Amino acid sequence: MPEPLISILLPYRDAEPWLRECLDSIAAQNMQQFEVLMVNDGSKDHSPHIARDFAALDMRFVALENPQSGLVAANRYGLNQASGTLITRMDADDLMPPGKLELLSSPLLQAGKGHVSTGHVRYFPREELGIGTLHYEQWLNERCQNNDHWKWIWRECVIPSPCWMAYREDLLELYAFEHDIYPDDYELMFRFYRAGFVVLPVNQLCHLWRQHKLRMSRQHEGFKTEAFMRMKLERLYESFDMAARKLYLLGHGKKAKMLVQFLPQGQNFQWFSERPKAAGNEIMGYRIYSVNELKFSADALIISTLSTYENHDHLYQSIMDQGFEWNRTMLRWC
């Protein structure tokens, strides 16, 4: 079969320190049938000159200007200009291993529409990484190994924004990037999930993810914990008839308290704790019940905010033994 054209959406803003190395890594791909839509999102440094230089030397690299403003708008414009059968994303400060396009496109071409492929990621430079970043890297790669991405969709973005590939027609049908919603990558994953897409995991390294203090995910308000919480709540009320549900919250840490603050006015719930000493106390004016008092009913919905750094498998198993099911009557938010 002839290689399909792959369109790579590459928005950038003030990426001068990294852009040339990023573009070099794309040019070195094993698959050569690609186009790179380099969308400048208001850069004030020399990165647009780098993009235009690449475009002048290689017709596969196309230098564009974002007619609006923001990351989502830049991706939207790139998608509208794309000619490829398949679409993938790239961040201007990251690197592509030489086989990335081949690894992600191969399972998609065999499976057809209704699928999204992803692979392993590795953060660099390693000396800059904190425990949380290393844990997230391991967690993402475990999702590929276990092929259980959607099981964890309510906890965190299960597929990294610069390491997925899908059919262009699918993205258009899902209205990808149509709305300026942050965190944009997580919002797109919910679109895949709710549309019933099947994830095709590639258990090989597909993306090198650079960490630095100026990275957008560390600077933009749309990638703070509050934005994740609000977006998940919007998806919750789209996915479940909450008026017909008994809402139970499990855990009373920082994220649980934030969730309570963001719940719509008038939303009733019961608050449970896994810690025996907390039962009977009040937090934010709400009584805390022991998890042992939590009883199954078909109209119940548990949102667990228990820490990811503690092993709660035994507790979760005892809850599921009552009849609760992941993503149906129990959601893991942390």
Q: 20 lies in a domain?
A: yes
Q: How confident is the model at residue 216 (pLDDT cuts 50, 70, 90)?
A: confident
- Computed over every residue of the chain, the mean pLDDT equals 95
pLDDT at 250: 97
pLDDT tens digits, 247-265: 999 999 999 999 999 999 9
pLDDT digits (tens, 9 = 90+) for 191-215: 999 999 999 999 999 999 999 888 8
Question: For residue 334, what pLDDT is reported?
Answer: 87
Task: Mark whether 173 and 256 lie in a shared domain.
Answer: no
CATH (domain of 41): 3.90.550.10
The reply to whether 167 falls in a domain is: yes
The last residue of a domain, from among 160, 192, 222:
222
Given a cut of 80, whether residue 222 has pLDDT beyond it is: no
Does 65 share its domain with 213?
yes
Does the residue 230 lie in any domain? no
Assess whether 115 and 194 both reside in one domain: yes
- Shared domain check, 118 and 66: yes
- CATH classification at residue 301: 3.40.50.20
* Same domain (yes/no): 132, 204: yes
Is the domain of 186 the same as that of 282? no
The pLDDT, as a whole number, for residue 1 is 62
- The domain total for the chain is 2
Domain membership of residue 300 (yes or no) is: yes
| Total-model pTM | 0.94
User: Hey, what are 246's tokens?
Assistant: 């008994």
**What residue numbers bound the domain in which 212 lies?**
6-222
| 15-38 confidence digits (pLDDT tens) | 999 999 999 999 999 999 999 999
Q: Are residues 268 and 308 in the same domain?
A: yes
Per-residue pLDDT, 59: 97
Instruction: Verify that 218 and 251 share a domain, yes or no.
Output: no
The pair phi, psi for residue 29, each rounded to 5°, is: -65, 150
Give the model confidence (pLDDT) of 68-115 as tens digits. Answer: 999 999 999 999 999 999 999 999 999 999 999 999 999 999 999 999
266 and 157 within one domain: no
91 and 63 within one domain: yes
